[in-house]
Structures are given as structure tokens and as C-alpha cells.
Amino acid sequence: MNIVIMGPQGSGKSTQAKHLAEKLGLLYASTGEIIRESCKNGDSEIIAACEASKKGELFPDKLITQMLKAWISQQGKIKGIVLEGYPRTIEQIPELDKIGLPGSRQIDQVIYINTSEQECLERLIERAEIEQREDETPEAIKTRLNLYFTRTTPVLDFLRQKGILTEVNGNCSIEEIQQEIIEKLAAYPK
């Protein structure tokens, strides 16, 4: 099974994706982690994208797709994946079938953690203070959230029309969100 976890920054999608991957015995893939690791060791094109990312801009579609494909190819034989942070733009949708997903090579289900912008903003500001992440200044957070809500809405609409999008309430506790995800996945026809 291949699952995508989507939600705005601060929705808890990383936490939920890690939990779900562990529970189902699937590989966890985070584009955010892949990007942060690549920023440490990347070429000039990646470094330039990293600098733009610090200001809140999204990574170029082509570049993140290449990085994700390379990362998946290095993982060996896997039975399925929980992918977090991709796709974020409508341009990335056709690339899903080309990134080397295991098994059916398609996304079986997309879980959207629907979280209010205000809740995300509060969580991200708190996280930035705790983790001292240089890519999470208040300005970058606001820019990134605005980009997410404007650029990702068409992706959600497309996935909803395709019949593979399931929404959960992201304004709840971690445990409540986990429970809702598990219940909704159990109801998904296999």
C-alpha cells in the first residue's frame, strides 16, 4: 500500500506519517527531511533552492521530484510507503507514477490533515522556538503557509475528484488524529 499524508506545515503530518508507517510496516519518506539532508551536501542548484526555501519558497518541482526518486531508489525492496510532503503542486501529480513507488506504483490513499491556518501558525512558531530551525522564521512560516493554501488546493481538488482523498480533523490532539486516520483507512476498500 502506498499512502500520502498531506496537510499544511504545522498540521502534524510528519508525526502522523511516522506513526502510520510504523503501525503498517511501511517505509516513511519525508520530502522535508530529504531536502534538509540534501541542503547539507547538495550541488549549486540544490544550495540555491535551499536558500530560497529559508525565505519560505517551495523547492522547484523538478528538483524535489528528482531528489525523491533518487532517495526511493536507494531504499531497496519495500512493500509500501507513507509519503509526506509530496505532491504539493498540481505539476507534481503526474510525477507520482514516475518516482518509483513500490507495488502497484500508484497512490492508494491520500490522508489530508485539515488544520486551520491559525492553528498551524501557532504550532510552527512554537516549534521554531524549541528546535531553533533557521528555515522557520515568522516571515518564512507565513509565506510557506500562504503558498501551501494557494498552491495545494488544486492538488486536493484533483485527489478528491479521483476518489482517493480522505480528510481528518487536524485541530485535535495527536492521539485523536491518529485514531481518526486508522478508522478511515480501515473503512477504505482494499
**Tens-digit pLDDT profile for the chain (190 aa)?**
899 999 998 999 999 999 999 999 999 999 888 988 888 887 888 888 888 877 777 788 888 888 898 898 898 888 899 999 899 888 898 888 778 787 667 888 999 999 998 898 888 888 888 887 777 778 888 888 888 888 888 899 999 999 999 999 999 999 999 999 999 988 766 5
What's the pLDDT score for residue 50? Answer: 85
Report the Cα 189 to chain-centroid distance in Å.
Answer: 23
What's the pLDDT score for residue 48? Answer: 87
pTM: 0.87
What's the pLDDT score for residue 81? Answer: 93
What's the pLDDT score for residue 30? Answer: 93
Q: Which fold has domain 2-182?
A: Rossmann fold (3.40.50)
What's the pLDDT score for residue 183? Answer: 93
Report the Cα 175 to chain-centroid distance in Å.
Answer: 19
What's the pLDDT score for residue 14? Answer: 93
